[in-house]
Structure 1
Amino acid sequence: MFQFMTSTRIIFGEGALQSSLSVFNQFGYSVLLVSGQNMDRARPVIEYLKAQNMRYQHVAIAGEPNITMVEETALVGRKFKPDMVVAIGGGSVLDMGKALAAIIPNQGDVYDYVEVVGRSVPIKTKPLPFIAIPTTASSGAEVTKNAVLRSGQDQVKVSLRSPEMLADVAIVDPTLTYGTDRLTSGRGAMDTFTHLMEAYVCGDPNPLTDMVCEEGLRRLNRSLFAACLEDDYKARSDLSFAAMLGGMAITNAKLGAAHGLASALGGKLDAPHSVITARLAPHVMRENVVAAESQGRKDLLSRYQKMAAILSDDPKAAIEVGITWVENVLNRLELPQLRDFGVCATSFDTVVDDALKSVAIKGNPIPLTKERLMFILKQVCDCRGECETSSASVGLAESQLIHSSRPRVTTNTSKLNN
């Protein structure tokens, strides 16, 4: 027995944005628009809102959202009283929009609703209608039911989560990803991979998520380099589709230790979530395989072998081939090492303790001990067990995060008095 949920309506394909802008009118005439600081890709949306004489307020964010950022922007949003939230941008922008759609109509603060560091109170009032328009092929946030937020005071990343937060409309137009720089493309592609990989081998998969993950891995494998390194348009479409499948997979299956550790590290390092999970992935895969072998988990080993076969186009590929594929891709895409962000200056004891509290790590197919998680961190640090980790955190304080990434809010006043 299983269930499967995703966005109410998905519109996918080249040119999907221009052909679907009229869906805004179905939800009212007042729009809270969320985008990144670079508004080039959001321009068609802004032009449409102006052409329709729609009332809108524009929030432009930089970096990954934090809880205080959501709370402050929600206060502004409540005064504006939007009929809907439209978010166009990368995963962080979509998470910000998703969080605002949920928080604006609900009482209290964000800590009432977030997991782990908050009270985890279920959202009582239905979120505002939410339209998600991704401009990167990465997290699949357009079809997920959670928003990842940084808690500066706790120095962890946590989720605001509810099935009610699934987008009413997801418009996935691969043309919006054309011309994305190599680093952003590579980070996004590996974010997609860690979603597909962990959902495929997690402790609670189902036949439908298995199909989704396998197809996502196939498309990712055949398109990754052509999309990220050559900006090939057909490959960009494949990558966008794979990213969407990754979002569907983690909404309906579970994650694992890579995301559990990343949630703990993400609040302590000024590093993109996608880079953290990607660099953790091969080490977590190896630890899970070692644990599966010691416990005779043939079912789990079979999944890792099937994944290796898909990634190598060799049905008889050994499990290690799949792990090596990940390492080779990380190096060819030139994703930064975590030691470049100061991972070796963090307290691994604190990181592991925080990770063990995360929701994501509970989905790992085999429980990993604190010692094995410490070993993974030391492998990522490349200190081979010889480094001395300090208790000093290299995380950014909440006040620093707010100062560096405070949203820019502008309002179209053409219809404010109507």
Structure 2
Amino acid sequence: MRPIPAFGLVLPARVRFGRGAALDAVPEIARLGTRIALVHGQSTARAAPLISALAAAGATVLPLSCPAEPTLDMLEAALAEARTHRPDSVVAIGGGAALDLGKALAALLPADRPPLDHLEVVGQGLPLSADPLPFVAIPTTAGTGSEATRNAVIGVPAHRRKVSLRDDRLVSRLAVIDPALTDGAPREVTLASGLDALTQVIEPYLSARATPFTNALCHDAIPRGLAALAALGAGENPAARDTMAYVAHVSGIALTNAGLGAVHGLAGVLGGETGEAHGVICGRLLPHVLMANRAACIGDALRTDRFGHIEHWCRETLGCGIAGMEGWAAARGLAPPDQRLAPEALADIATRSAASSSMKANPVALSAATLAGVLSDAGWG
């Protein structure tokens, strides 16, 4: 019998899951304060009913747009605007970008230092000097699981990196997962966000920091997510939408408590370098990182067994093994990279990626040469 290692858990304070949960949560959200800064995506279409319902409940709402993955400049501009509103709480409704910006706002509105001081890698990575404002996260895509994580990803173009603002207190006060908000999402968004969610349950399952708790979640979620993504590839499917929303939420819990791996270690640097969408990058990298890790883990009985599970689940749900995932995703619209990078650029990205926090949880240390080979095999070489 394997001993159970010591571990801790970081989880949202409260979770509401189910169709209609967003509007059902309005009274609970309103109890957190009557002055609300509300971050939404580029369009207000999915946020509008919530804004109206909060106003009807007596809240004064400041809408803030997050039209793209947040950068340091976007964060500083949003902080300046939100401070004039003096919010009691922050609500974010949208994809992972909107949730990350909302989470960063909630963390930094009470702070007395500039944002860069709290960012990892390119800043000082300082802990927050004050508790964040209450934060409510309502995802409209089934991908990042950001409503359950303790970090907000911020792009810093001057350093060509996407880095994290990280603190246990960033985890949402209330996570509302309403799968109906994901209905009708464009095919390419569904595919990219779904591949991100899958990556975020697969990497923790193989992680060097995996726990019995995260293993149980991931062992159940991986085949569910694969089957749901395959079903959504064939057309709109409410039951599959529900499943992907659940898997995405589980992925946030899993990565927060077990870490990620080389896919995300590479994706943070590669996204900052190329500007490509995070989920698309993860979808391209996943099969190649899995194959590199599997080759490097020969002799590790535990992880060999888990790679076997993943291979079986892929064949059962997608009709192909790990090596065929790239072709499966491409056939469903996952585009190849827009640009090819010179060998020296690939080597530089691999070297910088090795220093990322995600890479520390990879099941085995991969050399810079191996990581550069993964990038090349995935289409950037």
With the length of structure 1 as denominator, give the TM-score of the two structures: 0.86
Matches within 5 A, 1:247-258: 247-258=252-263
1:130 maps to what in 2?
135
Residue 371 in structure 1 maps to residue 365 in structure 2:
no
Q: Deviations over 1:25-52 (max 9, x none)?
A: 2111000010012111101111112213
Name the SS for the 1:131 alignment partner: strand
Name the SS for the 1:264 alignment partner: helix
Shift in alpha-carbon separation, 1:381–1:218, aligned structure 2, 3 A: closer
What amino acid maps onto 2:249 in structure 1? M
2:3 maps to what in 1?
none
Partner of residue 307 from structure 1, selected from 307, 310, 332: 310
RMSD in angstroms over aligned alpha carbons?
1.7
Residue 63 in structure 1 maps to residue 68 in structure 2:
yes
Question: 134-143 or 304-313, which moves further after superposition?
Answer: 304-313
Runs of 4+ in 1 over 3 A off after TM superposition: 341-346
What amino acid maps onto 1:312 in structure 2? R
- Note if contact 1:31-1:57 (Cα within 8 Å) is conserved in structure 2: yes
Q: Deviations over 1:95-141 (max 9, x none)?
A: 01001100111111111111111101011201000000001101111
Name the SS for the 1:313 alignment partner: helix
CA distance in structure 2 between the partners assigned to 1:304 and 1:313 by the alignment? 14
1:203 maps to what in 2?
208
Higher Rg: 1
Q: Which runs of 5 or more structure 2 residues have no equivalent in the other structure? A: 1-5
Name the SS for the 1:27 alignment partner: coil
| Percent of pairs with identical residues | 34
- Note if contact 1:146-1:162 (Cα within 8 Å) is conserved in structure 2: yes
Question: 52-61 or 262-271, which moves further after superposition?
Answer: 52-61
Q: Deviations over 1:349-377 (max 9, x none)?
A: 22112101211111111101111111112
- Note if contact 2:131-2:169 (Cα within 8 Å) is conserved in structure 1: yes
CA distance in structure 2 between the partners assigned to 1:17 and 1:329 by the alignment? 34
Shift of 1:264: 0.8
Q: Which runs of 5 or more structure 1 residues have no equivalent in the other structure? A: 315-319, 384-418
Residue 41 in structure 1 maps to residue 46 in structure 2:
yes
1:298 maps to what in 2?
301
- Note if contact 2:204-2:254 (Cα within 8 Å) is conserved in structure 1: yes
Matches within 5 A, 1:13-412: 13-293=18-298, 296-313=299-316, 322-338=321-337, 340-343=338-341, 347-381=345-379, 383=381
- Note if contact 1:268-1:346 (Cα within 8 Å) is conserved in structure 2: no
What amino acid maps onto 1:378 in structure 2? S
- Note if contact 1:199-1:254 (Cα within 8 Å) is conserved in structure 2: yes
What amino acid maps onto 2:314 in structure 1? L
Shift of 1:346: 7.6
- Note if contact 1:157-1:263 (Cα within 8 Å) is conserved in structure 2: yes
- Note if contact 1:75-1:104 (Cα within 8 Å) is conserved in structure 2: no
CA distance in structure 2 between the partners assigned to 1:219 and 1:325 by the alignment? 19
With the length of structure 2 as denominator, give the TM-score of the two structures: 0.95
Shift in alpha-carbon separation, 1:49–1:18, aligned structure 2, 3 A: closer
Shift in alpha-carbon separation, 1:344–1:230, aligned structure 2, 3 A: farther
Shift of 1:89: 0.3
- Note if contact 2:200-2:251 (Cα within 8 Å) is conserved in structure 1: yes
Question: 345-354 or 40-49, which moves further after superposition?
Answer: 345-354
Shift of 1:228: 4.2
CA distance in structure 1 between the partners assigned to 2:246 and 2:118 by the alignment? 31
Q: Deviations over 1:307-333 (max 9, x none)?
A: 22233339xxxxx96413522431232
CA distance in structure 2 between the partners assigned to 1:279 and 1:346 by the alignment? 20
CA distance in structure 2 between the partners assigned to 1:341 and 1:7 by the alignment? 39
CA distance in structure 2 between the partners assigned to 1:382 and 1:78 by the alignment? 42
Question: 299-308 or 32-41, which moves further after superposition?
Answer: 299-308
Name the SS for the 1:17 alignment partner: helix
What amino acid maps onto 2:137 in structure 1? A
- Note if contact 2:30-2:54 (Cα within 8 Å) is conserved in structure 1: no
- Note if contact 1:94-1:141 (Cα within 8 Å) is conserved in structure 2: yes
Q: Deviations over 1:148-177 (max 9, x none)?
A: 111111001101111100000011000001
- Note if contact 1:182-1:229 (Cα within 8 Å) is conserved in structure 2: no
Shift in alpha-carbon separation, 1:345–1:369, aligned structure 2, 3 A: closer
